[in-house]
């Protein structure tokens, strides 16, 4: 597994109302999910670079993916 030289600092998680999430178990799950996403993205970047792809393009693709993720719990305006 590819290990990043930089240490990722998780964000302060907030509710939609702007309050801090304080449940330890929720914070643990959220931060573990971010670490998994980061590790997978780093592996994809390493693979892309090793295969001769442009690093900037891979970063843009990952950003595009993040921007297009759909919220399955989003309330539809009807």
The number of folded domains in the chain is 1
Longest pairwise C-alpha distance within the chain = 48
Give which of 61, 8, 14, 67 is closest to 33, Cα–Cα. 8
Residue 19 in any domain: the answer is no
Burial 59-70 (b: 16+ CB within 10 A, else e): eeebeeeeeeee
In a domain, 1, yes or no: no
Summarised one tens digit per residue, pLDDT across range 11-65 is 999 999 999 999 999 999 999 999 999 999 999 999 999 999 999 999 999 999 9
State the residue range of the domain holding 44.
Answer: 24-67
Q: Within a domain: residue 45?
A: yes
Q: What angle do CA 26, 29, 31 make, to 5 degrees?
A: 105
Residue 75 lies in a domain: no
Spatial CA neighbour of 65 closest among 39, 37, 43? 37
Q: Regarding predicted confidence, which is higher, 57 or 1? A: 57
Residue 48 resides in a domain: yes
* Amino acid 78: pLDDT: 54
* 52 against 8, higher pLDDT: 52
Q: In the prediction, which pLDDT does 57 show?
A: 97
At 77, the pLDDT band (50, 70, 90 cuts) reads low
């Amino acid at each position: 597994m590819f290990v990043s030289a930089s240490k990722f600092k998780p964000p302060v998680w907030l509710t939609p109302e702007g309050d801090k999430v304080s449940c330890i178990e929720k914070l643990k799950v959220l931060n573990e999910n971010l670490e998994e996403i980061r590790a997978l993205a780093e592996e994809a970047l390493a693979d892309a670079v090793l295969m001769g792809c442009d690093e900037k393009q891979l970063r843009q693709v990952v950003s595009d993916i993040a921007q297009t993720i759909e919220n399955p719990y989003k309330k539809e305006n009807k």
